[in-house]
Amino acid sequence: MGGKDRRSTGQRRAAKAKARQQRLAGQEFRREQHARLVVERAGDPRFIQRERLPDGGRVVRWDPESVAGTRISGALHHQLEKFREKFGRQPGPEDPIFFDPDAEDPTPLSAGSLSRELDRLVENADEIGVPPALIKAFRDLGYLVTEENRHLFSAAEIEAWRETVERYRAEDEPDDDDLGEEELVELLGAEISAVVARTLIEPSPQHARDFAARVIEMDLVLADAGVDDSAGALGLSAAFAVVARWLSGLREERAAEPVAEEVLGWVGSALGPASVALSRRAAGILGAPESSGVTVQELVDELEDDFLPALIWLAVGAVGCYGGGDVTWLQRFEVDPDHGAT
């Protein structure tokens, strides 16, 4: 996967345009998924429901026995306790539950007070166990998206939330000059694991393609900036190393079993014939005889932008077949820094 990137300026521009097209396709896919989610959760007591009142106002309802309801009720009880501790009495019907902690009397939390409180949370994010990117996005946008409440927001709000969180995550990451090869592999390994998990929950080839488009775009930006150009496509090389480690580890662990056919069968049933056809070309790493002689460079040239997705789909199939649907099963094939791959 190494070697100097010899693509012309025109080829790089074409690749960038294709990456943008894939990003737009990913956005459209997410909009469609969100529309289905809103319909599926409408009226479902397991999830928070927002209703419009006759006077034009809105009310939020939840089942206190549901997962979301339990969390909300717990948060409200905690806030009520904070009110009693500060003011020495129960809140009245006109008192704000979320109050300014610096005010002597119960006063609604102002924008300035909220901003200061969020800044404090950002500074203590590691201590409280909340990613700072989430707090910063909430501070900027004024709303917080979770897996349990995402149906209450529009597709545009969800997309704005995702982009803001990703931007802050990128800013919070170490500079490229400080990010070594091992750190890059570890970072991408976590991201690919998340892609595998999401594909298992919501079977679609698009999750892997969205991720691959981001990796390709990152490599193009690095190449244009002249960052370590001698190493070629840094992100793609690191991502390949992660997935290849998993798949080769599985093949070694189950050398006597028809691993390739089992995994490809799972991919075909879950992700469709087009995905399994592409994955079959990459399945030599699992011992598929028809593709065992294909080199990595030949796969890159043949599959192009679907090179990395095809491998990720194989990893998804591996977890589906042998890992019981639990993506942490892949950790058995992680590299031990002292002894190599387990």
Q: What is the pLDDT of residue 341?
A: 43
User: What sign has the CA pseudo-torsion 190, 196, 200, 202?
Assistant: positive
Let me know: does 263 contact 317? Beta carbons within 8 Å. yes
pTM of the model as a whole: 0.53
Helix/strand number for the chain, H first, E second? 13, 4
CA gap 32, 199 in Å, rounded? 16
Is the model's pLDDT at 220 over the cut of 90?
no
SS3 category, 99? strand
CA gap 103, 69 in Å, rounded? 30
Structure confidence by residue, pLDDT tens digits, 9-42: 555 566 566 556 656 666 776 787 788 888 988 8
Q: Tell me phi and psi for residue 92, to 5 degrees.
A: -90, 175
Residues β-bridged to residue 60: 50
Let me know: does 80 contact 73? Beta carbons within 8 Å. no
The one-character DSSP state at 95 is S
DSSP letters along 197-241, please? HHHHHS--THHHHHHHHHHHHHHHHHHHTTTTGGG--HHHHHHHH
Confidence of residue 229 (pLDDT cuts 50, 70, 90): very low
Structure confidence by residue, pLDDT tens digits, 244-256: 999 999 999 999 9
Structure confidence by residue, pLDDT tens digits, 98-135: 888 888 899 887 777 777 878 888 888 777 777 888 88
Structure confidence by residue, pLDDT tens digits, 35-94: 888 898 888 888 888 888 888 788 888 888 887 778 778 878 888 998 999 999 999 988
* Measured torsion, CA atoms of residues 167, 172, 177, 179, in degrees rounded to the nearest 10: -100
